[in-house]
């Protein structure tokens, strides 16, 4: 048995002497126990207990309420608790019904061997530990799945927001490109050049004549080079130059 489990066993028997004898066996394995003298008292104790019992051991033959009936009702209150039924050989039918209904996990016949009884109780407590641990892991997995679902939902929302922002930026860039294209098309480069020349004082007549002469001379030299490479002759100077 795992040390982290603080087990308490409920013993229900109308014979107090038998109940106390079973309690002494529980002390040998350092397990706490509570004794109740009837099925109804046992049900009341289960309901009022601050935590579930790990194991219930009930005698079959008790007045007012048989052990099989008591354990069936106990199952509805504490379904995870392990349930043992003490029975004699004459109670085979009751045991069969209890097993078929799932009211008990195991039955122990009278008289019992003390060592075998203790080992049976240990096995029952280990079974309870497995049930509780599986339940804990299931709840943990469920909580983790819920967190993953929330995270996935948040990521999807964030992705949608980012995608919308990207689309909006693309639209703004496209609009800016169109505005630039329109601006270039409507631009009057000649006026801009004239304005630049005016700012540089290059529109005076004498300066313009000098500029034109330099341009014509440059063009003439280029044409001369082309004519020479193609076998033509051109005058050395520009006529009238």
Q: Write the pLDDT tens digit of every residue in 185-219.
A: 665 655 665 566 666 665 565 666 666 677 677 76
Q: How far apart are CA 33 and CA 20, in angstroms?
A: 10
What is the architecture of the domain spanning 8-134? 3-Layer(aba) Sandwich (3.40)
DSSP string over 110-121 = SS--HHHHHHHH
pLDDT value for 157: 74
The Cβ of residue 40 has, within 10 Å, a number of other Cβ atoms equal to 15
- What tokens appear for 208 in the block? 């313009």
Whether the per-residue pLDDT at 51 is higher than 80: the answer is yes
Three-class secondary structure of residue 36 per DSSP: strand
117: confidence class by pLDDT, cuts 50, 70, 90:
very high
Give 126's pLDDT tier (boundaries 50, 70, 90): very high
Instruction: Give residue 193's pLDDT.
Output: 57
Report pTM.
Answer: 0.58
For the record, the structure tokens of 103 come out as: 């009211």
pLDDT tens digits, residue range 152-186?
A: 777 777 777 777 777 887 787 777 777 666 665 66
């Amino acid at each position: 048995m795992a040390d982290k489990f603080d087990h308490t066993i409920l013993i229900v028997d109308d014979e107090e002497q038998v109940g106390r004898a079973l309690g002494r066996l529980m002390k040998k394995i350092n397990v706490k126990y509570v004794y109740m003298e009837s099925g109804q008292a046992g049900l009341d104790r289960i309901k009022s207990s601050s935590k579930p019992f790990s194991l219930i051991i009930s005698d079959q033959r008790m007045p007012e309420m048989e052990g099989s009936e008591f354990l069936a009702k106990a199952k509805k209150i504490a379904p995870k608790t392990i349930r043992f039924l003490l029975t004699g050989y004459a109670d085979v039918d009751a045991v069969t019904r209890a097993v078929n209904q799932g009211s008990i996990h195991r039955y122990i016949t009278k008289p019992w061997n003390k060592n075998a009884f203790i080992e049976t109780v240990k096995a029952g407590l280990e079974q309870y530990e497995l049930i509780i641990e599986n339940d804990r892991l299931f709840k943990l997995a469920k909580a983790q799945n819920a967190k993953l679902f929330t995270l996935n939902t948040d990521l999807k929302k964030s992705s949608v927001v980012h995608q919308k922002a990207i689309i909006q930026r693309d639209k703004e860039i496209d609009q800016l490109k169109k505005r630039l294209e329109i601006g270039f098309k409507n631009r009057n480069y000649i006026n801009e050049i004239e304005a630049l020349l005016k700012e540089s004082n290059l529109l005076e007549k004498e300066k313009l004549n000098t500029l034109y002469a330099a341009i014509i001379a440059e063009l003439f030299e280029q044409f001369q080079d082309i004519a020479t490479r193609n076998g033509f002759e051109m005058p050395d100077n520009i006529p009238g130059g």
